[in-house]
Amino acid sequence: MRRRPPPASSFPRGGSADDEAAIMSERLSKPTCLIAASAAAAGVSADSFLHSFTLASSAFNLQVATPGGKSIDFTGVNEANMRWIQDFRMKSYANPAKLESTDGARYHALLIPDCPGAMVDLANSGYLARILQHFSSENKPICAVGHGAAALCCATNEDKSWVFQEYSLTGPCVYELIRLPSFASLPIIFEDFAKDSGAIYSASKADAVHVVLDRHLVTGQNENSTVAAVQNLVFLCNGSRK
């Protein structure tokens, strides 16, 4: 029997002034994390987003942003995650900010969940590229999971080299991508891009949990690697703030 996911928000409804003050104090003491998600029709993995948001909310104040501030199309919605997704959509913070007007300097961490749509929009986003360039220059923690790793492809240096060249990282392997109905028309194959751009790419078996941590970058191979990857992001951010 599968456990029901926790509610989208852990904040109590109502409560005394002391409770509200405690909540506000907790929020002010937390670092801020930007969740960059795709707004393309290929969408965002419901399970990966659920686990990313739930785990990260315990350690960060979160802000979701998408290209154009468009709403997220979740993929893989099922009985186990449907209630959480419905609750999440009712919250004010479920309305994404515009990635185009997002200032990376305001955030301590960046999280990109498994987004099949990232290969379409985030991989070519100049706005996300600027955020990634800032995070890289400041050695701020970055976490990209599964297809979300394709979003890293947009970040280049002035000499056109990839910001993440010479990094050890992972992302979907060709054996995972080839099962997609759209494989023949995919705009980018992350494994090929990473190797061609000078990164040290590794992968485990298809669907296996595989996470790579190199400096301030955490990458997870696939949706199943979400929990382990986000846990590493939290540890990385906690360590950098001590």
Q: Give the pTM.
A: 0.88
pLDDT tens-digit readout, 68-99 = 999 999 999 999 999 999 999 999 888 999 99
pLDDT tens-digit readout, 115-156 = 999 999 999 999 999 999 999 999 999 999 999 999 999 999
In this structure, whether the domain defined by 18-240 belongs to CATH 3.40.228.10 is answered with no
| Reduced 3-state DSSP string for the chain | CCCCCCCCCCCCCCCCHHHHHHHHHHHHHCCEEEEECCCCCCCEEHHHHHHHHHHHHCCCEEEEEEHHHCCCCEECCCCCCHHHHHHHHCCHHHCCEEHHHCCHHHCCEEEECCCHHHHCCHHHCHHHHHHHHHHHHCCCCEEEEHHHHHHHHHCECCCCCECCCCCEECCCCHHHHCCCCCHHHCCCCHHHHHHHCCCEECCCCCCCCCEEEECCEEEECCHHHHHHHHHHHHHHHHHHCC
Say yes or no to pLDDT of 207 above 90: yes
Say yes or no to pLDDT of 240 above 70: no
pLDDT tens-digit readout, 167-202 = 999 999 999 999 988 898 899 999 999 999 999 999
